[in-house]
Structure 1
Amino acid sequence: MIDSHAHYDDEQFDADRDDIIRKAVEAGVTHIINPGCDVESSRQAILLARKHPEVFAAVGVHPHQAASCDEKTLSGIEALAREEKVVAIGEIGLDYHYDFSPREVQKEWFSKQVALAGKLGLPIIVHDRESHQDVLDIVKAFRSELTTGVFHCFSGSVEMAREVLDMGFYIGIGGSLTFKKARKPVEVVQYAPLDRLLIETDCPYLAPEPYRGRRNWSGYLKHVIERIAAIKGMAYDAVEWQTSDNARALFGLDRFAVTA
């Protein structure tokens, strides 16, 4: 299994971070992508990647922190992005649910980080919450410069999924797929081809059923795989293998020593 989106730099793991990563590996997790949310958490993601062979970093500024960005911030992210085990620019995007940063400011710094990803030849990890059209418009504006990326914790409709897939992007599926009232995620998984899906935890958040409300971790990925397999009428092993292959392709993981 490959956890395509986890936040092991989060303070909720301060007491047992190394132990929980070790347990994830023992549970069959071969790679973990740990995105940053600002310069400091991006730096912490890199330190985790240096310490743990299974962990890889992404660097970027989350839309919640966009209001604190300046050109020095962007230069800092670019410098970090040149570290060996950095495999993406992220977590970047727009969040119109909380609006912790003004929307125009979010769009400005999302655009600049997408442009940076194009400059460096890295995929992007996109955060999109209640901002579907603006996110799509910005990604489309830079499409010719980008390699590809993933819309993580996808919350859009099938119609949006079609646009994302048409651009050559992947769709990240996490614990919300298992929730009893999940509708859109189920429809998206039904629609999307398996070779365009990634699995993720977004831990410590969004633990799947039957652990909803608890601290999430990479060992719970199996519940997401089981749900995808049930929706698509496929074998568990086929979903596990294909989603891992997808993550290796997107993030270029085969160039590193750790292999699935």
Structure 2
Amino acid sequence: MLELIDIGVNLTHDSFDHDRGAVVARAAAAGVTRLIVTGTSVTSSVSALSLPEPAPGRLFATAGIHPHHASEFDEHSIKALEPLLDNARVVAVGECGLDFFRDFSPRDMQERAFSAQLDLAGAKGLPVFLHQRDAHEMFIAMLRQARDRLPGGVAHCFTGGPDELRDCLDLDLYVGVTGWVCDERRGGPLRAALPDIPLDRLLLETDAPYLLPRDLKPAPPTRRNEPRFLVRVLERVAAETHRSIEIVAEAATANTERLFGLPLRNSIL
């Protein structure tokens, strides 16, 4: 039986409101036994911590402000995040970073919110859960300035090619791979980079309810992604890197435990 960890699931999303418990149960039945719920605002971070655990040590969270919400960031945001980050179930600051593709918040406000959260992560001794889209150069420059103060971080939902990967690895980041790798239309650069991701830097995630793997067979009745489909991401990563699913699963789980300071598997079984 696989023991996988989904490092990025938006479990507070309203598409899960009617069957959230069943979603978690289906994930566990598929071997995805631990979930890290993504916080994208103060409100969603609080909501993530309010979700009932199916069992101790099975549900964790990040707490932070996504660049889409950076326009909401002010001096009160840090004060609201600080007590959340002291909760033992919160394992990272984020989702934080830069998104110059959507530009839902002005870029200067995105940079200010990102910088403040990098400082907060350093002060709290927590890794960062990172978002970047169409902002690679600024993202890397800001991270490079802060990296010495951070215990670690993950490039969440990495979609870049070999050059972008090299920049992330030069900063000792972990790399989160989602169902983007299964996308025949957009996943080419990621598939080209995948063999260059060191096995000890690889993490697996769904970003559910987004990024449903497009090569699922049979196709599910809706486009809503679920953490149980992390198994398909694992299978595709293993195939693309010519490794067994067992080796990839073991590495990704160990890497996740190490980065986020999670209890080791044997201690929660």
User: For the superposition of Structure 1 and Structure 2, which TM-score range results when normalised by the shorter chain?
Assistant: over 0.9
Aligned residues: 260
How far the C-alpha of 1:215 sits from its partner, in A, is: 0.5
The letter of the residue matching 1:184 is P
Corresponding residue of 1:234 = 243
Q: 1:164 aligns with which of 152, 162, 168?
A: 168
How far the C-alpha of 1:30 sits from its partner, in A, is: 2.0
Question: 2:227 aligned with 1:218, yes or no?
Answer: yes
How far the C-alpha of 1:51 sits from its partner, in A, is: 6.1
Question: 2:148 aligned with 1:114, yes or no?
Answer: no
Q: Which moved more, 1:89-98 or 1:180-189?
A: 180-189
Aligned counterparts, 1:98-177, within 5 A = 98-177=102-181
Aligned counterparts, 1:65-104, within 5 A = 65-104=69-108
How far the C-alpha of 1:74 sits from its partner, in A, is: 1.3
Distance 2:158 2:86 in 1: 28
Structure 2 vs 1, CA of residues 200 and 186 (structure 1 numbering), >3 Å: closer, same or farther?
same
User: What SS is found at the alignment partner of 2:175?
Assistant: strand
Structure 2 vs 1, CA of residues 45 and 149 (structure 1 numbering), >3 Å: closer, same or farther?
same
**Is the contact made by 2:159 and 2:180 (CA closer than 8 Å) also made in structure 1?**
no
Corresponding residue of 1:35 = 38
Corresponding residue of 1:6 = 9
**Is the contact made by 1:12 and 1:204 (CA closer than 8 Å) also made in structure 2?**
yes
Question: 2:13 aligned with 1:15, yes or no?
Answer: no
- For each residue in 1:17-74, what CA deviation from the matched residue of structure 2 results, as whole angstroms up to 9, or x when unmatched? 0111111112111211112111110001111265653110100000011001111111
Distance 1:243 1:256 in 2: 13
**Is the contact made by 1:49 and 1:56 (CA closer than 8 Å) also made in structure 2?**
no
How far the C-alpha of 1:158 sits from its partner, in A, is: 1.0
**Is the contact made by 1:173 and 1:197 (CA closer than 8 Å) also made in structure 2?**
yes
**Is the contact made by 1:171 and 1:196 (CA closer than 8 Å) also made in structure 2?**
yes
**Is the contact made by 2:177 and 2:202 (CA closer than 8 Å) also made in structure 1?**
yes
Structure 2 vs 1, CA of residues 257 and 190 (structure 1 numbering), >3 Å: closer, same or farther?
closer
User: What SS is found at the alignment partner of 1:254?
Assistant: coil
The letter of the residue matching 2:196 is Y
- For each residue in 1:74-127, what CA deviation from the matched residue of structure 2 results, as whole angstroms up to 9, or x when unmatched? 110111111111100010011111101000110001000011000000000001
Q: 1:62 aligns with which of 62, 66, 79?
A: 66
How far the C-alpha of 1:255 sits from its partner, in A, is: 6.5
How far the C-alpha of 1:259 sits from its partner, in A, is: 3.9
Percent of aligned positions that are identical: 38
Structure 2 vs 1, CA of residues 124 and 243 (structure 1 numbering), >3 Å: closer, same or farther?
same
Corresponding residue of 2:196 = 191
Distance 2:162 2:63 in 1: 29
- CA RMSD of superposed structures (Å): 1.7
Distance 1:150 1:66 in 2: 20
Runs of 5+ consecutive residues of structure 1 not aligned to the other structure: none
Runs of 5+ consecutive residues of structure 2 not aligned to the other structure: none
The letter of the residue matching 2:178 is G
The letter of the residue matching 1:180 is E
**Is the contact made by 1:253 and 1:259 (CA closer than 8 Å) also made in structure 2?**
no
